[in-house]
Amino acid sequence: MQNTSINFKRQVTIKLADVRLQDALSRLQTRFVEGRSAVIGEIHDLQETRNAAAEIRDRVLNDLEHWLLHFERQATARGAIVHWAETGEEANRIVAEIAAQHGVRSASKSKSMVSEECGLNDALEQAGVKVTETDLGEYILQLAREAPSHIVAPVVHKNKEEISDLFADKHRLPRKSGIAELCREAREVLRPAFLNADMGISGGNFLVAETGSVLIVTNEGNGRLVTTLPRVHVAITGIEKVVPTLEDVTTLLRLLPRSATGQSITNYVSVLTGVKAKEDQDGPEHFHIILLDNGRSSLIGGEMQEMLRCIRCGACMNHCPVYQNIGGHAYGWVYPGPMGSILTPLLGGIEKSPDLPNASTFCGACAAVCPVKIPLPDLLRKLREKQVQRGMKSRQEMFMLKAWAWLALHPRIYALATRMAVRIMSMLGGKDKLIHRLPAAAGWTDGRDFPAPTGMTFREMYRKEKSQ
């Protein structure tokens, strides 16, 4: 997927004015924030569990090569073929080759954000393979030719009416308005795609090293159909998703659905191991696992490695007051919200996303809910430090920062400067003691007044009081 995060600021203006989007986003609070809060307390040792989850992820990341090779050996022993892709293009090429090798003409696909990174669907269409997204949200987006705006609830930016219109238009069936009817219609339309697919494509929430399994968590059942009905199954995921043992996975699974959708457990947890054995009734004859790097390995051993702990629950964006107000598309790539504001510059180039690390108040709501305790605001701050080091900040901003720091380091001059400033500001305040316009801080005064100071600094008042 093309990275357009350079347009972030312009997108913010557009998204804030989008009435339909704002209406859709207003439901995030009940659906996800209250949803998580209702079930997270079921984990009575929540902090210990989060610590354990972070430890599991760190254990893997600190020795990633070992665990990946271990996974490859176990998966291969069970008949799967593991492919390594350094870039999205390489992953696409591998999938296209697998499709060609098996004479695949149509593929059914369950949700995979890694495939969005690669732009896999377009690449396969170009290779002559018809791809049908079968996750309801992703199917809707495929019809609408849009990108996901959330990593767990990809269609969260659309309301029911838009989807009714879209189905009526694309399916050429009478317009339905109830959610159950819409789901039934989607099921009926999708059934042939499941049954006729030569290849199923899925993502992978975890790679279990000890068994060589790909584990996926889903709610709609489409994941099971995609991974078991077609004769070829291709699972595509990031190299960081490996976890040592099934027992480790159970720790992460206590956290993932609760953090993501406010469910104690998802409707399906599928552990996909190897190819169909002789005695098996179903399952793929060929199982290909594609492990994508796409910049991830460059974070290993560096100060941003903690970002690779991420298990893609989406809690950080659900709780982010910035995401809550602009939605996911404004971020300009696959991953939105706090985790996306870190991953997009790290995987796509810091220079291409100048705004993302800065568009945060550091409120910390994300880090407070992260199931694997990624210090998201700290990582955003480190990206800001990299921006300063690389000279990406405007000369004006750097001047202001340096001037302020210089003043603060010179208390006498600071005292004079602040005395002068507060006197001027006090005069600007006028009768209502509010400053309505400050050209140097238009970003503030365009939407807010600035409460004017009284005209004296604390330090001068305190000194006066003490000398009396």
Partner 1 sequence: MEKTKRVGLFVTCLVDSLRPRIGFAAIKLLEAAGCEVAVPEQQTCCGQPGYNSGDRKSAEELALKFLGEFEAFEYVVLPSGSCAGMIRVHYPDLFRNDPALQERFAALGQRTYELTDFLANVAKLEDVPGNFKGSLTYHDSCSGLRELAVYTQPRSLLAKMPGVELREMVESTTCCGFGGTFSIKYGELSARMSDNKCRHIAAAHAGAVVCGDLGCLLNIEGRLRRTGDHTTGVLHVAEVLAGLDKDE
- Cα angle value 123/116/15 (rounded, 5°): 125
* Near partner 1 by CB under 8 A: residue from 102, 171, 231, 381: 381
Residue 450 binding partner 1, by CB under 8 A: yes
Residue 144 binding partner 1, by CB under 8 A: no
* Near partner 1 by CB under 8 A: residue from 100, 173, 271, 388: 388
E strand or H helix at 166: helix 160-171
Residues for the chain: how many in total?
468
Buried b (16+ CB within 10 A) or exposed e, 345-356: bbbbebeebbbb
What token pair was written down for 300?
């290993």
Distance CA 29, CA 320 (A): 10
Size of the site for partner 1 (CB under 8 A): 63
> SS3 of 290, please?
strand
Closer Cβ to partner 1, 188 or 385, answer by number: 385
CB of 321 to partner 1, least distance (A): 5
CB-based contact 392:354 (threshold 8 Å): yes
* Near partner 1 by CB under 8 A: residue from 6, 39, 43, 363: 363
Residue 463 binding partner 1, by CB under 8 A: yes
CA nearest to 132, candidates 85, 195, 174, 177 = 195
Closer Cβ to partner 1, 100 or 421, answer by number: 421
Distance CA 259, CA 254 (A): 9
CA nearest to 144, candidates 168, 128, 114, 175 = 168
Distance CA 175, CA 102 (A): 39
Residue 84 binding partner 1, by CB under 8 A: no
Residue 467 binding partner 1, by CB under 8 A: no
Residue 441 binding partner 1, by CB under 8 A: yes
Residue 46 binding partner 1, by CB under 8 A: no
CB of 461 to partner 1, least distance (A): 5
CB of 355 to partner 1, least distance (A): 8
CB-based contact 260:151 (threshold 8 Å): no
Residue 271 binding partner 1, by CB under 8 A: no
Residue 424 binding partner 1, by CB under 8 A: no
CB of 217 to partner 1, least distance (A): 28
Residue 6 binding partner 1, by CB under 8 A: no
- Going by C-beta distance under 8 Å and a sequence separation of 6 or more, which residues neighbour residue 421? none
Distance CA 136, CA 43 (A): 30
Residue 14 binding partner 1, by CB under 8 A: no
What token pair was written down for 268?
């399906």
Residue 101 binding partner 1, by CB under 8 A: no
Closer Cβ to partner 1, 59 or 463, answer by number: 463
CA nearest to 262, candidates 26, 43, 49, 39 = 39
CB of 432 to partner 1, least distance (A): 8
Tell me which residue has tokens 């701050």: 381
Closer Cβ to partner 1, 194 or 450, answer by number: 450
Residue 399 binding partner 1, by CB under 8 A: no
Residues that bind partner 1 (CB under 8 A): 9, 12-13, 16, 29, 321-322, 325-326, 358-365, 367-368, 381, 383-389, 393, 397-398, 401-402, 404-405, 407-409, 411, 414, 418, 421-422, 432, 434, 441-444, 446-451, 453-454, 456-459, 461-463
